[in-house]
Amino acid sequence: MKRKFVKVMFLGALTLSTVTYVGCKDYDDDIDNLQTQIDANKASIAELQKFVKEGKWVKSVEPITGGFKITFNDGTPYEIVNGAKGDKGDTGATGAEGQSSILTVDPTTGEWLINGEKTGWSAKAPYIQDGYWYYWSKEAGKFVKGDKATGEQGEEGPAGVNGFSPYIANGTNGDKGYWYFYEPDNKDAITSGDLKGWVKGAFTDATTTLTKIEDRPCWLLTQLDGDETKEVILPTADNLINIKGVAISDDGKISTDGTKEVTLYYGILKNEVKFGPKGDQNTYSEGKVLTSNNAVINVMVNPVDISLEEYTFTLQNSKGTNTYLELGKPVQNVTPKALTRAESTPNIGLYDLSVKIKDGLNSSAELPQAVYALATKNAWDKTIMSAYDVKVTLSNQNIPELTDQTLAAIKNCDETYVWDDLLKEAGETNLGYVADYYYTADNVEIKKDVETGKWQILSKIGQSVIVTVHYLTVEGVEKSSTLTIQFKKKLEMVTVDPINWTVTDAKDGKEKKVSLEVIKDLLDKEDYSVVYLSKAALDETPAETDIDYAVAPVVKAENGGIALSVAKDTKDEKWYLTAIFDETKVTATEHTIHLAVKNAKGEDDLGTLLVKGIDLKVNITMSKTPVFVFDRIPGYFSEDGKTAKAYGTPVTGTEGEDKVTYDLTKLYTNITNGMANISYAEDNSEAWKGAQWLQSDVNPVLSLPVGLDNIGKKHGLIVRYQPYGNKNLAAILDEFNLTVLSEIAEGTEKGTVSNKYLSNVVREFTLNLTDFVWKDYKGESIVWSSDSENRIKSITLVPSDTAGKYMDLSATDFKASTPIKVTLKNSVGVILSPESEEKSYIEMTVLDAWGITSTVKIPVPIKNENK
């Protein structure tokens, strides 16, 4: 029977990945010409055709009531169900009239399922590959190679035989509407004609079937319209344009000059060999060719972002044949070091294809040396090929073997590990050169993962384990090596309530307790105690000497700011952890203190020394009420509080070293000189060019040289209170700019004197310091004659230019005990043009102890007076 319907198993349940099928149309042309082939069900097929032409491809297929749902890669759903066409909806349409079916295979029994229901028919039908029949072998548990196939010419495509997926008869051959299954060895199989080897099944009114084609990335939708079958190819992946073999070195460098040469180690069994764990052995027949399994071909594809999961790759020579090599499914290439810049990520557009010798070969005569091209088919059966530069070399000489290994890293028990990965981590690189292998060990669980096919190990206790790696060489010799691995018990964590404490809160006290009843059973034992763990103990792979155990049951933490102790309360017989806080050392933040229950008789390298872990959370906060307040004296500070002024006390030093001192505590009502935990700092920035005022950070007395570089200029100061002298706590600061002023220069009244003038009548007068009124910054008059008045350094008198024409002064240095006589010059006769008071004055200059000069004018008018 020649059928255009390509019949392949659904969801890849059987490994017919390289099956060659007969009668497959060139579906690339079908897409463009599909409209002319459709009569019935025209709307649904046209809709699917439209999706395919738009570049959409099928992402998933799932059964629904009465049919199936197709979801495209852009999320568009399309439903085909029994009965009449349904509503289109927002994203798709229901399908054509009639029933619908999805062909699947039970992965355990190999039985055909139609819409998920058992049929009783085996899916293990024979098939042809590379011109040879392959049959299912119950003994081998897989397909084995048989005789050459002579198949007949189909309507289109190369010579071959009929496909073997179940189909519904359309009336041309057999009974219309009945399922047919291909099982030549079935006692009910038809023995002649086009239906030879087929078995008639149950009747169905299904008109639509959806079948996954395994050797191409597509589904085949088939609809029966009377006696005619209509088909639509639905791609399951984006269209592959180009493939190219490349070479990637062990250090991650890529070369596009063709693939690197792949070496396959092999051997031919002289006798039958049984190998595998007890109760699950594989039988390798005499003459079987065994091969290594680590040969990989690297391939680069375009488009680079295409997913190759749906593509099947083969190797073929220039004659289009390959009878002994097969490729595995494409796997994204990942290198330890990136080919570009990204670290530890898949390399875009690069894939790995494992290569091995096909099963069923019986002699080395069938193992030719050749150069091949990589080949695959797109959804429409078009072949895409690389250049003929894939080199595969066969060797049965110097085959690497395994050696004993020791795993350096300690692993945690209660965690499942992959044995192949552990071997690789230990340094074993030759596992890929063996034909088969399995593992055995005592006191651990070893099993093979059903999905991944990888061996796994699980240890539930901390222990040292010797694992035997049993392996079968490609020559058919069973050998073994060992891997020594140290399993460490992972520290189990328990939870206790956090501890909260407020610094300086008298009501809160300095002691807090938390219950340890969660580990009561351990603490009641003689050899168990709570210990503190240092940071070294928390390293990923600590040595025993790295663990800092405090003497149980008392431990210290946070530099002694928190003292912990563990004890059993004599009243309620419960275990408690007590924290005692030292406000002079604690830090007001959230702390995590690492504790553990230690078994004095345990072993650290097995994880039995520390049996329970506790991450104790301790939250320390500052009281909302400040522990100290800077109470300023308002009169010294500006309204905004940013500046302050002071006058200081002059101190006479050696020549040129006079100072002005000021005690900063005078700015406050609650700070006394030498008060504990108070410190002082000043502005050290470039903005301040004067000498430093502070003698030390604990001395509040400023000492500044006299003169304009310091007096009258702003200087930034910081007064700091450190609570309890604990630098781990936030300091309380008072920051401001201080200006030191002169008591004399800032006086409220300066050098006032009256009734002093000269004329032809009053030709002289005497000036005494007591004649002047000078009030300091407080408004208090200076007592010039007082011996205690040390705020004035010097006083000088100088007449103005105008006054100098009319008068003489007996001295220029003004002393408190020596008056100065002012006399009208003798040469002056009758004063014809007296000058105004503004021009006729004596300038009085006062230098104070702050180094500031104050100047005032003493009016001395020249009156036109003759009698």
Examine the domain organization and report whether 301 and 446 are in the same domain: no
- Which pLDDT belongs to residue 592? 85
Examine the domain organization and report whether 507 and 555 are in the same domain: yes
**Domain final residue pick, 219, 235, 251:** 235
Examine the domain organization and report whether 250 and 230 are in the same domain: no
Residue 251 covered by a domain: yes
Residue 505 covered by a domain: yes
Examine the domain organization and report whether 261 and 389 are in the same domain: yes
Examine the domain organization and report whether 20 and 53 are in the same domain: yes
Residue 443 covered by a domain: yes
Examine the domain organization and report whether 225 and 254 are in the same domain: no
- Considering only CA atoms, which of 205, 148, 197, 209 is closest in space to residue 173? 197
**Domain final residue pick, 355, 377, 395:** 395
CA distance 407 to 428: 10
pLDDT tens-place string over residues 173-204: 657 777 777 777 778 888 887 778 888 877 77
- Which pLDDT belongs to residue 340? 37
Instruction: Name, in order, each residue with C-beta under 8 angstroms of 243's C-beta and a sequence gap of 6 or more.
Output: 299, 300, 301, 302, 313, 374, 376, 384, 385, 386
Examine the domain organization and report whether 428 and 552 are in the same domain: no
| Residue 433, domain extent | 405-488
Tokens coding 98: 């009639």
pTM over 0.75: no
- Which pLDDT belongs to residue 689? 64
Residue 193 covered by a domain: yes
Check: CB of residue 178 under 8 Å from CB of residue 194: no
Examine the domain organization and report whether 615 and 669 are in the same domain: no
Examine the domain organization and report whether 723 and 757 are in the same domain: no
- Considering only CA atoms, which of 577, 579, 570 is closest in space to residue 596? 577
Residue 546 covered by a domain: yes
CA distance 114 to 166: 10
The total number of residues written for the chain in this structure? 867
CATH number at residue 808: 2.60.40.10
CA distance 646 to 717: 13
Residue 1 covered by a domain: no
Examine the domain organization and report whether 336 and 429 are in the same domain: no
Tokens coding 459: 């240890």
Check: CB of residue 111 under 8 Å from CB of residue 118: yes
Residue 865 covered by a domain: no
Structural domains in the chain (count): 6
CA distance 21 to 24: 7
pLDDT tens-place string over residues 20-61: 233 333 434 443 333 333 333 455 777 888 888 888 888 888
- Considering only CA atoms, which of 480, 464, 394, 477 is closest in space to residue 431? 480
Residue 780 covered by a domain: yes
CA distance 549 to 533: 6
Check: CB of residue 298 under 8 Å from CB of residue 308: no
**Domain final residue pick, 621, 656, 683:** 621
Examine the domain organization and report whether 610 and 756 are in the same domain: no
Which residues of the chain fall short of a pLDDT of 70? 1-43, 82-112, 115-116, 119-165, 170-174, 205-207, 214, 225-227, 250-252, 323, 335-345, 359-370, 505-507, 534-560, 673-674, 685-690, 827-837, 866-867
- Considering only CA atoms, which of 61, 9, 381, 379 is closest in space to residue 166? 9
Examine the domain organization and report whether 606 and 674 are in the same domain: no
- The DSSP secondary structure of 247-277, one letter per residue, reads EE-TTS-EE-SSPPPEEEEEEE-SS-EEESS
> What are the beta bridge partners of residue 659?
651, 705
CA distance 9 to 17: 10
CATH number at residue 669: 2.60.40
